[in-house]
Amino acid sequence: MIPFQEAKSIIAQNLFNMRKETVTLNESVGRVLRQNIVSSFPSPRFNNSAMDGFAVRSKDLKDASKMNPIKLKIVGVSSAGLPSNISIGKGECAQCMTGAEIPKGADAIVMVEDTSGFLDNDFVNIMTSVSFGKHIRKKGEEIKEGDVLIKEGIRITANEIGTCATFGYGELDVSKRPKVSIFGTGNELVEPGMKLGKGQIYNSNLYVFSELVEKAGAEIKMREVIKDDKESLKSFLSQALEESDVIISSGGVSMGRYDYVRDVLIELGVKEHFWKVAQKPGKPLFFGTKENKLIFGLPGNPVSSYIGFMKWVWPVLKDIMGENIEKPLYGKLDELFPREKTKHRFLFGQAEYKNGILVCRPTIRLGSHMLTSALGANCILSAKPGDGFLKPGESIRINLLPWKCIQ
């Protein structure tokens, strides 16, 4: 059994980077960006109107009001999407639509609501003064040409899609999705929806794994429940090692009579880096490699399996795709947290803000078989080895479940 941090270090030394591929903008949602998005032009590209109105010289309207309207001659119309060659001089203006280029000589926009409308189609009465630059979007006020808009390593969402489209990116370089094979072992496992026999339990872990793999941005290549049969296991793992980047097992890595996973992996040429980690839950944890294949053997108990995935597999999937790693988050306990003298301790928990302070509490269900402890949880709490309990008010590390939020 090795310490938690030593196991983390061993894994880090054996990671690789997924290759990148080019996809269309529509295909990029949820993928990890592998290029910097740089503005090829300023935004706005030119001075344009923020309102429907009239482009004017502000100094011509210094004394304008409802009681003292000032009459200006309309010398043209500037429309969005059309080039403008209009120039205005003293006592002149131009009708200007939202998004339209500001005519030469103009330095402000008067809204239509502040005018009397057209007078014989050639003149308009302006009934308000206006400050220099009013209702004008300045060239480059949002983005300068050459600015880095989005840095490599960001997972693409609607936010990034909008910006990429705005600046004309029709294709993006992204990481290839890791191919992941998942499997569970045990004669006792039955699929949900079927009738349970004596001594049987429903297969829940592979459903959890499938959801987590998809949320991580990876692709499930193979998924199977394998009976406690060495040859069946060998056949599945032989194919998985050929076709997958990451293999994850649920069960079969402990010391039971039918726990064949570790033996079969080693028989197939997988190099074992460690087998047990000083943590609770989930001490039986296998990590091995074969060429550029990463193999994780997680325990079969559902809480151990779920937390094991989030603490070990989830960060690896993000890392090999080049996704930026989030900074650690810490909160203050408002209830006791049970530590282990020689092991890292993990529990599902709830975190929330109270009076501007991030506080958290662990689940009341502590058994590694009690998957309902995840209900209502938005995080995993973790504590280093130590005697006794961490007390209310003490700091503890929080891993927010990525699809959850802190209220």
Higher pLDDT, 403 or 122: 122
Task: Report whether pLDDT(231) > 50.
Answer: yes
Confidence of residue 368 (pLDDT cuts 50, 70, 90): low
Task: Report whether pLDDT(175) > 80.
Answer: yes
Range 260-286 average pLDDT: 93
Q: What is the pLDDT of residue 116?
A: 85
Range 348-375 average pLDDT: 81
Least confident of 60-69, 164-173, 372-381: 372-381
* 270-282 per-residue burial string, b: 16 or more CB within 10 A, e: under 16: beebebbbbbbbb
Higher pLDDT, 185 or 272: 272
Q: Look up residue 319 and give its amino acid.
A: D
Range 203-227 average pLDDT: 94
Range 372-394 average pLDDT: 91
Range 372-398 average pLDDT: 92
Range 352-380 average pLDDT: 81
CA distances from 177 to 20, 48, 253, 320 (A): 9, 42, 27, 10
Task: Report whether pLDDT(294) > 80.
Answer: yes
Higher pLDDT, 214 or 370: 214
Percent residues over pLDDT 70 in the chain: 95
Least confident of 50-64, 110-124, 302-316: 110-124
How far apart are alpha carbons 364 and 370 in whole angstroms? 10
Judge whether 363 and 349 are in contact, CB under 8 Å.
yes
Task: Report whether pLDDT(124) > 50.
Answer: yes
Q: What is the pLDDT of residue 200?
A: 85
Q: What is the pLDDT of residue 248?
A: 97
CA distances from 279 to 41, 59, 91, 330, 403 (A): 52, 74, 80, 19, 25
Q: What is the mean pLDDT of the chain?
A: 92
Range 295-312 average pLDDT: 92
Q: What is the pLDDT of residue 135?
A: 97
Q: What is the pLDDT of residue 369?
A: 58
Task: Report whether pLDDT(258) > 50.
Answer: no
Task: Please give the distance of CA 276 from its chain centroid, rounded to a whole number.
Answer: 31
How far apart are alpha carbons 310 and 184 in whole angstroms? 17
Task: Report whether pLDDT(257) > 60.
Answer: no
Q: What is the pLDDT of residue 216?
A: 95
How far apart are alpha carbons 58 and 48 in whole angstroms? 16
Burial class (CB in 10 A: 0-12, 13-18, 19+), 152: middle
Q: What is the pLDDT of residue 164?
A: 97
How far apart are alpha carbons 4 and 58 in whole angstroms? 69
Confidence of residue 406 (pLDDT cuts 50, 70, 90): confident
Range 199-211 average pLDDT: 89
Range 40-68 average pLDDT: 95
Task: Report whether pLDDT(389) > 90.
Answer: yes
Task: Report whether pLDDT(367) > 60.
Answer: no
Contacts 24+ apart (CB under 8 A), 114-119: 114/53, 115/53, 115/54, 116/69, 118/74, 119/71
**CA angle, corner 185, sides to 236 and 208, nearest 5?**
100
Domains of the chain: 4-18+176-320 (3.40.980.10), 21-41+146-175 (3.90.105.10), 48-137 (2.170.190.11), 329-400 (2.40.340.10)
Range 248-255 average pLDDT: 75
